[in-house]
Amino acid sequence: MSELKNKKVLLVITGGIAAYKSLELIRILKKKECSVKTILSKNANKFVTPLSVTSLSQEKVYSDLFDPNSEAEMDHISLSRWADIILIAPATANTLSKISNASADDLASTVLLAADKEFFIAPAMNVRMWENKSNKNNVNILKNMGHEFIGPVIGDMACGEYGEGKMTEPQEIVKYLEIKHKELKKNNGLKAIVTAGPTKEFIDPVRYITNRSSGKQGYEIANSLKKSGFNTTLISGPTQLDPIKGINTINISSAKEMFDSVIENLPADVAIFSAAVADFKVKDVSKNKIKNKENYSLSLEKNIDILKHVSNHNSLRPKLVLGFSAETNNIIENSQKKIAEKNCDWLIANDVSNQEIGFDSDFNEVSILYKSGEIEKISKDKKSVIANKIVRKIISNLD
């Protein structure tokens, strides 16, 4: 039986050449025994007809914001409340701009603005449009709001160009929705803790010791866990990243504050320690700014090792504990020593000497070291993709 059986799907079709694929999408969803209602944007009518859509969905097609008959029923409110799943396919660059900037100039954008739930977005546009900085900003805004992207994929464009921007095929979109709903049911009730970003250890009121970390990989892992149905708590050091909707985010500064927050939020089913915690703190923090002197020495002491403490805790240890190992040389050798020392289940190692990946970058390349001795490499990819692959493995391990 399909995971989508009896689900109510609101499909928003916008004005791109990929709109013709929406007809196949409706056909597949109906075959999965979904109820499908559709909204056609003004430009979508130029690519598919209301008659073809309604013949497949067996439902009225909505398109006019100022239709007196429809607005008597407040469609811009009722449609989003009716739906179990809201799907925009295809989603044009113009549509992404509208919904990320709270524009509501037609029925489609008004319904999406009034929606009380996150929605799935299947983009379709020229590769240069997809890579445009303004479009990327809109995509990031929508991701941080909790909306989920399905694609786009790399392929030949209708315009003759080749690259990322092609709409995911209808069969794959439906498959993605089925997997997502199966995971949500299975993972409902599971708790995850993720640490991310650096910590600060103050020397005086204006100076501190820290580690270099943007927090991006940890945030992506937390977001992927949340989207997979986990009750997720993110304990974050100082970063420039926006909070993610649906995630309980605790902002801390020092390693001690991070440790205390981790302990307060245990027990958990899984804990991922991706934060770059400062190994040392200043023994005696000055209450006043230290004046510039020719010679000055600091007395340091070790911070508590959060990963090691939790991994070796008898009563509060999660079922699965993951650590991160940022290395500049002998990556695997150093990480093998670390996994034995920390007693964590997995250790995710990455080379931070490469400026194209790791710190500050949107890309990463990692190796997962397992306690069994097995090593699995994940090749260079976006941190969001790396996060999804790690979370898939976490879910498989918890089965």
Alpha helices, DSSP H, located in the chain = 21-31, 50-57, 68-71, 75-82, 93-100, 107-114, 127-131, 133-144, 170-187, 216-227, 255-264, 306-311, 331-342, 383-398
Q: Which of 138, 157, 180, 253 is nearest to 9 (CA)?
A: 180
Distance CA 38, CA 58 (A): 10
DSSP 243: P
Token reading at 128? 């240069």
> Residue 370 pairs with which residues in a beta bridge?
346
Q: Which of 264, 278, 290, 281 is nearest to 206 (CA)?
A: 290
Phi, psi values for residue 322, rounded to 5°: -115, 135
Question: What CA–CA distances, in Å, run from 30 to 37, 80, 174?
Answer: 11, 19, 11
Token reading at 136? 């990327």
Token reading at 101? 């900037």
Q: Is 34 a catalytic residue?
A: no
Out of 74, 154, 158, 159, which one is annotated catalytic? 159
Q: Catalytic residues, which ones?
A: 159
